[in-house]
Amino acid sequence: MGRYIVRRLLQMFLVLFVVSLLTFATMRAVPGGPFSTEKNLPPRALAQLEAKYNLDEPLYMQYLHYMGDIAIPRLTENRLPPSVLNDYLINIYIPGIDRTLRWMNFGPSYKSVSQTVNSIIKSTLPVSATLGTGALIVAVFIGIPAGVIAALKRNTRWDYAAMSVAIIGVSVPVIISGPILRYVFGVQLKWLPPTGWGSFEHMIMPAFALGFAESARLARLTRASLLQVLNEDYIRTARAKGLHERIVIGIHALKNAMIPVVTTLGPLFAFLATGSFVAELIFGIPGMGKFFVVSITNRDYPVIMGTTLLLATFVILANLFVDLVYVWLDPRIQYS
């Protein structure tokens, strides 16, 4: 198992390299530049900015410089200007030689002048991850029980009710449900703050809006998966052995039915945790999604690269976690 994990982690770096190359090539192929505005920047100013950010170099050199800043650790003096300290994601002080090992410089933001990609990630990722966790809790705690009930009470009012709610959830995206929630609970009833971030109350509506849409998908998947499992021979065997129905469902059926559900949960968490642009815009949340989308419009190359690589890392790690959960769910699965 240990060797398997190490191998997967090594593969991750290869995948991230390919993602970085594709992202770099794609964003440079798109017309427009980071310093294009409605007003024409004088040629001299444009040249100064391009020189500052190495954009006057050949493309391949720009890529190599960028990847070098991310991948190659640097042993630097301990006392550096604060703006430099902000550049690196990892700073390890080595007391013996009074030096600091600095690693992972994702570059500056072209548009948010006082910020680096690292400082953007540091300030927005916790927000998005918190919201994503909340949304996942909502999705799991509504979706899975609803799916289980619908499967166990197949073709009854319970089933129809659960699936009707699920269809509503799938059909109504956050861009619709968000403003409705905000208007009802924020504006009319005044139970919750309509927008903002910083307290549990602020999180309820966006987490529910995001989570409910996902819970609907989970409910449908759980129902379908559980129905399939309930028709398996080993379930009939378990019942024939006289096991209590709760044991049959809880231990034998549910664990196996969860495999496809867990498969979706990993990437789902990765996407939720790295920011939902729509939810952040509707509820005024300072998360990563907003920065990511705005960075594309602004052609803020380092921010696009940094956030894309972060999302890719999250997805890869989430998939690895899912693969490890498989082993617990189904002992027949072996990684050797």
Examine residue 54 and tell whether it contacts other proteins (CB under 8 A).
Answer: no
CB of 198 to other proteins, least distance (A): 5
Among 16, 151, 210, 285, binds other proteins (CB under 8 A): 285
Binding flag, residue 138, other proteins (CB under 8 A):
no
- What's the rounded Cα separation, in Å, for the pair 122 and 180? 31
Q: Evaluate whether 23 touches 106 at the Cβ level (below 8 Å).
A: no
- For residue 146, state whether it binds other proteins (rule: CB under 8 A): no
Please report whether residue 40 would count as binding other proteins according to CB under 8 A.
Answer: yes
**Contact characters 290-329, other proteins, x per CB under 8 A:** xx--x--xxx----------------------------x-
Provide the angle, in degrees to the nearest 10, between the axes of the packed helices 117-152 and 288-298.
120
Asked if 259 interacts with other proteins (CB under 8 A), we say no
Q: Smallest distance from the beta carbon of 150 to other proteins, in angstroms?
A: 19
In sequence order, what are the beta bridge partners of 99? 77, 94
> Which window, 45-53, 54-62, 99-107, 306-314, contacts other proteins (CB under 8 A)?
45-53
Whichever of 165 and 293 has its CB closer to other proteins, that residue is: 293
CB-based burial label for 45 (10 Å; 0-12, 13-18, 19+): exposed
> Cβ distance 197 to 289 under 8 Å?
no
Q: Is 1 in the site for other proteins (CB under 8 A)?
A: no
Q: Would you state the structure tokens that stand for residue 15, as one six-digit string?
A: 């995948």
Residue 195 interacts with other proteins (CB under 8 A)? Answer: yes
- Find the binder of other proteins among 123, 263, 313, 319 (CB under 8 A): 123
Distance CA 300, CA 305 (A): 9
Q: Is 231 in the site for other proteins (CB under 8 A)?
A: no
Number of residues that bind other proteins (CB under 8 A): 74
Among 12, 33, 76, 91, binds other proteins (CB under 8 A): 33
Rank residues 73 and 126 by Cβ distance to other proteins and give the closer one.
126
Give least dist CB 141 to other proteins, A.
8
Asked if residue 266 binds other proteins (CB under 8 A), the reply is no
Options 18-26, 94-102, 156-164, 277-285: segment touching other proteins (CB under 8 A): 277-285
Q: Distance between CA atoms of 149 and 214, rounded to whole angstroms?
A: 17
- The answer to whether residue 83 forms part of the interface with other proteins (CB under 8 A) is yes
25 lies in the binding site for other proteins (CB under 8 A): no
48 lines the binding site for other proteins (CB under 8 A): yes
Q: How far, in whole angstroms, is CA 40 from its chain's centroid?
A: 37
Give DSSP secondary structure letters for 253-301: IHHHHHHHHHHHHHHHHHHHHT--HHHHHHHT---HHHHHHHHHHHT-H
Q: Which residue has the tokens 């709760």?
A: 246
The two most distant CA atoms of the chain are separated, in Å, by 84
**Owner of token pair 């498989």:** 326
Binding segment for other proteins among 1-9, 95-103, 155-163, 279-287 (CB under 8 A)?
Answer: 279-287
Count of CB atoms situated within 10 Å of the CB of 22: 11
Q: Is there binding between residue 281 and other proteins (CB under 8 A)?
A: yes
Question: Residue 219 corresponds to which tokens in the numbers above?
Answer: 């409910």
Contact between 114 and other proteins (CB under 8 A)?
yes
Sheet bearing 99-105, strands edge to edge = 74-77, 99-105, 88-94
